[in-house]
Amino acid sequence: MDDTAARPKSLKFKEPVIDVAFSPTTNLVASSLITGHVFVHKYDVGSNQRQVRGKPHKKSCRSLCFSGDGSLLYTASKDRSWQAMDVETGAETTRIDAAHEKPLNLIKYVNEQIVATGDEAGCVKLWDVRQKKQAFSYSEHVDYVSDMVFHAPKRHLLATSGDGCLSVYDVRKAKPFQVSANQDDELLSVAVIRGGSKVVVGETDGVMGIFSYGQFGDVTDRFPGHPQSIDSICKLTEDLCVTGSSDGLLRIVQFFPHKLIGVAGDHQALPVEKVVLSYDQQWLASCSHDHTVHFWDIGYIYADEDEDDEASEAAEQKYTNESKEDHELDAQAVAIRISRDVDSDDEEDESEVDIDGCSDAGELRTSEETHPEETHPEETQTDVAQPDKPSLDAGADSEEVDIEDNSESESDNGWGSWGGSSDDEAKAAKPKKKRRKGEELADKRKARVELARPTQSHKRKTERKAFFAGL
């Protein structure tokens, strides 16, 4: 609380102020007095101007509120009447006398069609503004109605009473929606918070009871901390409220987690009757027994929230950018790794492998395919001893090795015909085959796979040694 901050001047009256209300659309504030007078002022930091002064009720005007568009001002009185006043002209537009059997305590704007009123005996009534007659009447409470709030998303009207109960009414139905158990203390004020998921009530012992919306049987949480009764609750945000207490302090309270944030105003130990928030969320107005309506700066709460929101958005944007950069770096690393693997594969494909006297893996495969006798060394010796006997397998392999030669050609110097030459001479005289690049790569890859199998490679090496040893 900063007493030196620039703010509208306090409104001073000759009689005690019972209620105060801000216009929802412009910088107008209305005040009701114990004498039945009603005032409407235009407030500003520089000066305040009185717009309307009237006495619509013979007895004290206990409650007032603006319509949704701010064009009408509704008032309720101890004389059991309520009326609607044009804000610009001060003229009366609607008046209902003897609206209740008992003096009215409260009037609440619901929507453009309905106004709610509550009296000292606990009766709550809904009025059709267009037809100017009663719509529904509820008698769930046995003591005075202390406060009401309308929750538009559910079309529920919530009311607290001196009998210690919270009642909930669907404004479209004639029967109450739900009534809570007795809280063993008077309920003086009510507000809907946390996006409509919680309802907080103020009690005379300074405890704030918290209901979970839809579970109105009993409170689900309690927040003590006020030394005296909580006569008024004004919602600031979904997590913050301002409370007006009998000790004269306006406290800023946070919920979930519950804690007292600070003090917004001080009425010097005089009980606070009402505290309300301006339409632009810049000012609080409160009234007490000092015949004065005070203004308090509360805009810093929303400035801090805006800064927090901007900081949160900046942090989220930074995290998003960092995540994006990390993904890009990961993608680059993967691309580099793949490129290196491809280059390594190309280098391995271009390099020559010397395996048991073969110039490359392609020749190794050709040599193995053209020597079917490797797996049968005893049969190979028989074939060598009878060179004139043709070999069907050798002929087939000859077609694969040299695609230009025919298996029936007598001048074949490859492995398909032994021709009386030695094995070394046959290898030396073997023509070089022009192989396609794809076939060569396939052969090389197969050779690398074979090299990765040391057991099979060792077995084949042993068999080759046995074969050449038998020649």
CA dist 69 → 27, 72, 187, 237 (Å): 13, 8, 30, 22
> Whats the size of the chain, residue-wise?
471
Is the pLDDT reported for residue 373 higher than 60?
no
CA dist 395 → 402, 413, 415 (Å): 11, 12, 8
How far is the C-alpha of 148 from the C-alpha of 457, rounded, in Å? Answer: 91
Confidence (pLDDT) at 235:
97
Beginning with the edge strand found earlier in the chain, give each strand of the sheet holding 92-96 in spatial order. 61-66, 72-77, 82-86, 92-96
The mean pLDDT of 329-353, rounded to a whole number, is 58
Beginning with the edge strand found earlier in the chain, give each strand of the sheet holding 208-212 in spatial order. 187-193, 198-203, 208-212, 221-223
Distant-in-sequence, close-in-space partners of 341: CB < 8 Å, separation ≥ 6: none
Which of 56, 91, 93 lies closest to 76, judged by CA? 56
Residue type, 442: A
Question: Are 415 and 384 within 8 A, CB to CB?
Answer: no
How far is the C-alpha of 426 from the C-alpha of 329, rounded, in Å? Answer: 57
pTM for the full model?
0.66
Q: Report the chain's mean pLDDT, rounded to a whole number.
A: 80
Give the ranges where 370-413 is alpha helix by DSSP (H). Answer: 377-385, 392-401
pLDDT band at 12 (very low <50, low <70, confident <90, very high): very high
Percent of the residues in the chain that have a pLDDT greater than 70, as a whole number = 65
Is the pLDDT reported for residue 75 higher than 90?
yes
The mean pLDDT of 249-254, rounded to a whole number, is 97
pLDDT band at 442 (very low <50, low <70, confident <90, very high): confident
